[in-house]
Structure 1
């Protein structure tokens, strides 16, 4: 019984651990689902950032194109100012300033373009890492789902085993408890002393062997003739001390009478 209770305790402990593992698995699945949702939001933000970066790159290209056109225009103005001579001297100064400005603009747009390319490269790398992480989280979510199902099945099996063991313990302990609480049985056919030292019978029972001296007992025989009818009217009676004569001729005619010894 102790071994059964120990086994039941161990199985109950395993069932508790499986329930805890099932709860942790569900928590893991919930965390994975939240992470996948967060990664999806991050993917959306990365796509928005990439789109805006491409838009800025387009504007930068436009600025670079305008700077180039302005530089060409400043060169043409410088040429025309040279043709005008002294009258175009002032115009030549403005043309040179515009040319310098266009040159600085081209440098700035080139720097912006370089930074935009770096941003685009970083966004592309983040997207690749994000995609890998998303696939890993989805795989982890699938595996945790399978694990949760298996843990639940094992938990149900162990719970069933615990129930069966408890039922077996109850079935084994109930009769023992009933036997311990039951009153002592009174056996009317027990071996008890009667009036005679050799009587085997329940006390005060009419079915035992009665002491000698009863009407059905065996009387002592002290005569030389052994068993003989005590009374002629009763040929089956047993002789007593008073029978000191041999049986008469009438009794000898009885085929069931016993001859003298």
Structure 2
């Protein structure tokens, strides 16, 4: 685990070091002039590593304090085991521009210096859709291979339809879809991949009162939190002659 030392500097020394140390996230000339004029560097925060490297942050004390930045970055830097030896890396902080925002700087540090291990994710989503004027429960199995910013995989889902009773009897229709999926979350490494796009094909041979002929679906899923998401899509059936919009929720 890396040892961190936090060293605040005076504003005069900060200005000198800003000129001497090139930052990793420079802005365009006009934006840089705007940032330097309205939010000039007043403080510097340095994190020293045991391998004789350092991370330097230049910031304005009306936006951040050293204690706030330390609390935000210290847990991340303890995981930054790929930080190069004998190297000083500097970033400018300024919330007015996305390239200098704290969120972006944390993202760049994690992306460059925190090791990432690919993983296989398997879940059993369940939910409820509103399909063509009817509520259809959905159950299934999902498997994804995760990389740092995105994942690829697929799922098998069953859209369950309850038709009207005939002579007090009801026959439950099961519609099994095989789906190819792509999930992504660019610009944020702290949470799950919140966006998923999928395309599916109806694979079961049993006739359904809801779907018939060639049937395919396309959908977009947006995670609300770790266990809940909203899904919108469209299902084409009867050899692409009929289209059902879908709206539903999923629990993972």
Q: Going by fraction, where is helix more abundant, 1 or 2?
A: 1
Shorter-chain TM range is under 0.3
TM-score by length of 2: 0.15
Q: Which has the higher contact order (CA 8 A, sep 6+)?
A: 1
TM-score by length of 1: 0.15
**Structure having the higher Rg:** 1
